[in-house]
Chains A and B, each alone.
Chain A
Amino acid sequence: MADITRIHGRVIRAGRAEGRALVSPAPIGFLGGVDPDSGVVVEPNHPLHGQSVAGRVLVFPTGKGSTVGSYTILRLARNQVAPAAMINAESEAIVAVGAIIADIPMVDQVAIGLIRDGDWVTVDGDLVEIRQELAP
Chain B
Amino acid sequence: MTCQLTAEETAMLEGAEGPGVQRAMEIVATLGRIYGAPDLVPVTHAQIAGVSYKNLGDAGVQFLKEWAAEGAQVRTPTTLNPAGMEMERWQEMGIQPSFAEPQLSAIDAFITMGVTPTMSCTPYLFPGYTPRRGDHLAWAESSAVIFANSIIGARSNREGGPSALAAAIVGRTPRYGYHLDQERLADVVVEVRCPVRDVADFGALSYVVGKQVGNATLWFADLADHLPPLPADITLGGAAGDRLKTLGAGLAAYGAVALFHIAGYTPEARDLGEGLIRADARRLAVDSLDPGYTVMDADPDLRQIDLVTIGCPHASLSEIEQIAGLLQGQRVATQLWVTTARLTRDRAREAGWVQTIEAAGGQVVADTCAVVAPMRSIGVASMATNAGKMACYAPAHSKVKMRYGSLEQCVAAAVTGRWNG
- A33 CB to nearest chain B CB (Å): 13
Partner of A96, one of B23, B30, B56: B30
- B107 CB to nearest chain A CB (Å): 16
Complex formed: what's the CA distance from A77 to B58 in Å?
12
Partner of A12, one of B30, B140, B166: B30
Interface size classification for chain B: 20 to 34
User: A24: CB under 8 A from chain B?
Assistant: no
User: A83: CB under 8 A from chain B?
Assistant: no
Complex formed: what's the CA distance from A67 to B62 in Å?
19
- A116 CB to nearest chain B CB (Å): 26
Interface size classification for chain A: 20 to 34
The proximity string for B residues 12-35 relative to A, scoring 1 for CB distances below 8 Å and 0 otherwise, is 000000000001001100110111
Complex formed: what's the CA distance from A32 to B55 in Å?
10
User: A22: CB under 8 A from chain B?
Assistant: no
Q: B49 to A67, Cβ gap below 8 A?
A: yes
Q: B49 to A97, Cβ gap below 8 A?
A: no
User: A111: CB under 8 A from chain B?
Assistant: no
| A94 cross-chain contacts in B, Cβ below 8 A | 160
User: B63: CB under 8 A from chain A?
Assistant: yes
Complex formed: what's the CA distance from A78 to B23 in Å?
17
| B57 cross-chain contacts in A, Cβ below 8 A | 36, 71, 75
- B28 CB to nearest chain A CB (Å): 10
Complex formed: what's the CA distance from A40 to B265 in Å?
49
Output the nearest chain B residue to A37 by Cβ-Cβ distance. Answer: B57
Complex formed: what's the CA distance from A31 to B163 in Å?
16
- A131 CB to nearest chain B CB (Å): 28
User: A79: CB under 8 A from chain B?
Assistant: yes
User: A117: CB under 8 A from chain B?
Assistant: no
Q: A74 to B31, Cβ gap below 8 A?
A: no
**Chain B interface mostly:** helix
Given contacts A96-B31, A101-B23, contact A36 B162 (CB under 8 A): no
- A4 CB to nearest chain B CB (Å): 28
Q: B30 to A71, Cβ gap below 8 A?
A: no
| A67 cross-chain contacts in B, Cβ below 8 A | 49-50, 140, 158-161, 163
| A96 cross-chain contacts in B, Cβ below 8 A | 30-31, 34
Q: A100 to B27, Cβ gap below 8 A?
A: yes
- B358 CB to nearest chain A CB (Å): 33
Complex formed: what's the CA distance from A123 to B125 in Å?
47
Q: B63 to A74, Cβ gap below 8 A?
A: yes
| A13 cross-chain contacts in B, Cβ below 8 A | 30
Q: A70 to B59, Cβ gap below 8 A?
A: no
Complex formed: what's the CA distance from A100 to B19 in Å?
13
User: A2: CB under 8 A from chain B?
Assistant: no
Q: B59 to A97, Cβ gap below 8 A?
A: no
Complex formed: what's the CA distance from A74 to B59 in Å?
7
Known contacts A70-B161, A75-B58; can you find 20 more A-B pairs with CB under 8 A?
A: A10-B33, A12-B34, A67-B158, A70-B160, A71-B55, A71-B56, A71-B60, A71-B161, A75-B57, A79-B59, A93-B159, A93-B163, A94-B160, A96-B34, A97-B27, A97-B163, A100-B27, A100-B30, A101-B63, A101-B162
